[in-house]
Amino acid sequence: MLDILTQNAHFLLLGQYPSGPIGGLALTLILALLGLAFAIPLSLLLALCRVSPYRVLSVPSTVLVYIVRGVPLVMLVFWSYFLVPGLIGHLVSAFTTLVVTLVIYQAAYLSEIVRAGIESLPTGQTESARSLGMSYGSTMRHVILPQALYNMLPSILSQCVSTVKDTSIGYVISVQELTFSAQQINASLLTRPFQVFLVLALVYFAVCYTLTRCVQGVERRISRRRASGKMSNVRSLINDSVLQS
């Protein structure tokens, strides 16, 4: 089994790169990072819309989140892959389709975490900020979000880790990420699917396990800082940016 890994290491890691397009684990990580880079700000926006007192914002954002959460990721990928070109009249690359789908999918889940963080804060926080004359937006930005995001950091990070696994859905529309590479190896070896896919699983596991351990590290730091009541670096960073912005 190890021979599969050693003989195909380059292909699993980078795909056909540099003689062809980049693929394999590298593409998987690129997809995950790109997805998150857009999903995180979008999730913030979605969460703000969901808790908004204006129904024009809260209703559509709630509908969007419920739809995305109620549909399997593979359906979303098919929809965007087959429907979007029809709607906009020209082809979209599988890579772009996958990134956009991942962004929408992850943003929906992340926004639920952010919303939970906002709603778990005592109402007294909003009341005291508003009673000082701070506007809704200013209260959100300087009082509510810094606390909500900090409290929810562990959940947000573990949702981010699962993005790595979600990229595997790219296989169904032939994005040449890790799962697709493994499938190609399997097709050329023909007789050893069990071993090939075990290698694939181990690679995913290694990446996600490492990231999960990092998240646990962050979690431990947060609970240690809470216990000691001391100001953390994260906090002082937030503070400075709050008061200097």
Partner 1 sequence: MIQFSKVSKWYGEYQALVDVTAEVKQGEVVVVCGPSGSGKSTLIRTVNRLETIQAGEITVDGTSVHQATLNLNRFRSRVGFVFQQFNLFPHLSALDNVCLAPMKAAGKNRKDAKRQALALLDRVGLASKANSYPQQLSGGQQQRVAIARALAMEPPVMLFDEPTSALDPEMVGEVLNVMKSLARDGMTMMCVTHEMGFAREVSDSVWFMDRGAILEVADPQTFFRSPEHPRAQAFLSDLRH
CA 50 centroid distance within chain: 19
Does 143 participate in binding partner 1 (rule CB under 8 A)?
yes
Burial of 157 by CB count in 10 Å (0-12 exposed, 13-18 middle, 19+ buried)?
middle
- For residue 6, give Cα distances in angstroms to 9, 29, 83: 5, 20, 40
Does 128 participate in binding partner 1 (rule CB under 8 A)?
yes
Closest approach of partner 1 to the CB of residue 236, in Å: 9
Candidate residues 73, 134, 172, 198; the one interacting with partner 1 per rule CB under 8 A: 134
- Angstrom distance (rounded) from CA 4 to CA 14: 15
Number of residues that bind partner 1 (CB under 8 A): 27
Does 132 participate in binding partner 1 (rule CB under 8 A)?
yes
With respect to partner 1, which residue has the nearer C-beta, 140 or 200?
A: 140
Nearest to 179 by CA among 197, 159, 202, 161: 197
Site for partner 1 in 225-244 (CB under 8 A): 229-231, 235, 238-239, 242-244
Candidate residues 127, 220, 224, 241; the one interacting with partner 1 per rule CB under 8 A: 127
Does 147 participate in binding partner 1 (rule CB under 8 A)?
yes
Nearest to 204 by CA among 163, 171, 172: 163
- For residue 194, give Cα distances in angstroms to 2, 161, 182, 197, 198: 13, 25, 11, 5, 6
With respect to partner 1, which residue has the nearer C-beta, 146 or 193?
A: 146
Please name every residue paired with 177 in a beta bridge, in sequence order, or none if there are none. Answer: 24
Does 129 participate in binding partner 1 (rule CB under 8 A)?
yes
| Binding positions for partner 1, rule: CB under 8 A | 122, 124-125, 127-135, 138, 142-143, 146-147, 150, 229-231, 235, 238-239, 242-244
